[in-house]
Amino acid sequence: MSDAGIKLLLSCLLLGWVLSVIKVDALDFIRLLSQSLRHAGESAADAVRWGMPYILLARSPWYLSI
């Protein structure tokens, strides 16, 4: 078995042990992770939606019409 395989096996065992200590089911952990990723994506989309008018304003030649 390669060095990377041993590290992967040990990290999986460690994660399983931590989840069992804090009484979290693996399926609950996957749900939590997917909800966190979804929330992060929504926050990023909100930030882009908020900033887009300012980006477009900076790129438009509004000052030439004055």
Contact 39, 29 (CB under 8 A): no
Q: Where are the domains of the chain?
A: 25-66
pTM: 0.54
pLDDT digits (tens, 9 = 90+) for 12-66: 999 889 988 998 888 888 898 999 999 999 999 999 999 888 777 666 565 555 5
Q: Which residues contact residue 1 at a Cβ distance below 8 angstroms, ignoring those fewer than 6 apart?
A: 9
| Residue 12 in tokens | 């999986």
